[in-house]
Amino acid sequence: MQSRRGFLAGLMATGMAPKATWADAGAPAFLAAGKDELGLFVIAGLSATGEVLFRHTLPDRGHAASAHPTRPEAVAFARRPGRFADVIDCRSGAQLARLEPPAGHHFYGHGVFSPDASVLFTTENAFETADGMIGVWDAGTYARIGQFPSGAIGPHEVLLRQDAPGLVIANGGIETHPDSGRAKLNIPFMRPSLSYLTLDGQIEEIMELPAELHKNSIRHIAVRSDGTVGFAMQWQGDPGDEVPIVGLHRPGDTPRLMAEGDPRRRNLNGYGGSIAFSGDETQIAVTSPRGGVVQIMACATGHLVAEHHLPDVCGLARTATGLLASTGTGAIVHFGPGMAHLATAPLAWDNHLIPLG
C-alpha cells in the first residue's frame, strides 16, 4: 500500500497537491498588528472571540493588513511613512516576499486585493510631487506591475466598491514628506475626498466635503453591501471646534454627516480611528483612541444611539452579531445590545482589526 508521504509526493509531482487555505492557519476571523510583551512588532490572527491563533514578527511597527481571499497569506503594511509591506505565510510565519515602493514613494498603511485576487492595490505617496498614487502588484509573484493616481493627495485606506467593480479611496488631503517625518505640510490648503475608480485606475467620481470642513481629513472607510461608504475623519483645525467625524456617501449623492447637533461628538476629540458597519448594516460605529470612546450611530436617522468608554480603543470590525473592537491595552470587546469583554492578550493592539471574508 502506498504511504501517505508517497501519495502526497505523487500529487505534488502531478500538480494536484491540495492547496493551503486559511483553515490551515487556524481559520482566523481577523488580522491585527500589535506590539508584544518583548517590544517586538507583530501581525496576529484572531478568532471570532478574540483568541490569538498565531503571531509573526514584523521588522517595524505595522498599521493594517490585507488578507489574501483564499491563500493563508497576509500582507502587513508598515505605519506611514513606511517602505515595507511583508507578505507572511500565516501557517509558518515565513516571509514570502517584501514589497518596497519605487524610489520617491512610501506606503500609507493600507491595501486591498482585487475581486479575483489576481492583483494587490496599495496606497502610496509620491512625496516629491505630493501626488497620491495606487500601486499595482501581481498577487501571484508580488512583483510590481503598475500604478495610477488616487485622485487626490494623501490616499490612506482603499477598499473594493460593492455597487460596481472598482475601488473607493479615502484621500486624507494632507501633504507629507519623509524628510519632515509625520509633519503635515499643507493644512491651510488641504482638500480631503473620497475617490471612486475603476480597477484599471479611471476616475469615475470624486466627493469633496463642504469648504468649511476642508480641514477634516478623510482617513478610514467601510463599505456596505448596497455600496454606501462610511467614512471617518480626523480634524486638523482648532481642537476646540465641534465638527462631524463620521459621514455616509453613495456615489452620485451628497455626503450625509452623522450625529449633527449631538454634543457627545466632542468626546471623539476630533479623531476617528477606525470605522465599521454593524453586522446587520443598520448602524455605523467609530472609535477614538484620543477620546477613549466608541460611538454607534443609526444609519437611517444619523442619530448617535450609543456611546461606550474604552481606554485606547482603535481597531473596529463588524461581526455577525454586532461589532468587535481592539485596544492598546490588549482588550478585545464585543458590542451588540451592550458591551462585552471577550479577551485580553499580552499585546498592544495597533490601529485596525481586519476581517477575513
Identify whether 107 is part of a domain: yes
Q: Which has more pLDDT, 223 or 12? A: 223
Identify whether 172 is part of a domain: yes
- The pTM for the full model equals 0.93
List the CATH number of the domain containing 192.
2.130.10.10
Q: Is the Cα dihedral 216, 217, 219, 222 positive or negative?
A: positive
As a whole number of Å, the CA-based R_g of the chain is 20
Identify whether 53 is part of a domain: yes
How confident is residue 12, by pLDDT bands cut at 50, 70 and 90?
Answer: very low
Q: How many domains does the chain have?
A: 1
How confident is residue 357, by pLDDT bands cut at 50, 70 and 90?
Answer: confident
Rounded to a whole number, what is the distance in angstroms from the first to the last CA of the chain?
40
Using an 8 Å Cβ cutoff, are 177 and 185 in contact? yes
Identify whether 188 is part of a domain: yes
Identify whether 311 is part of a domain: no
Give tens-digit pLDDT for 28-78: 999 999 999 999 999 999 999 999 999 999 999 999 999 999 999 999 999
Identify whether 93 is part of a domain: yes
DSSP classification of residue 271 = B
Predicted confidence at residue 3, as pLDDT, reads: 55
DSSP classification of residue 23 = G
Percent residues over pLDDT 90 in the chain:
89
Identify whether 336 is part of a domain: no
Q: Is the pLDDT of residue 8 over 80?
A: no
Using an 8 Å Cβ cutoff, are 236 and 244 in contact? no
3-state secondary structure of 294: strand
Identify whether 272 is part of a domain: no
Backbone angles phi, psi at 179, to 5 degrees: -65, -20
Residues 6 or more apart whose Cβ sits within 8 Å of residue 301:
none
**What is the span of the domain harbouring residue 36?**
21-266
Residues 6 or more apart whose Cβ sits within 8 Å of residue 258:
244, 246, 247, 248, 284, 297, 302, 304
Residues 6 or more apart whose Cβ sits within 8 Å of residue 290:
268, 269, 270, 271, 273
Interval 141-150 mean pLDDT: 98
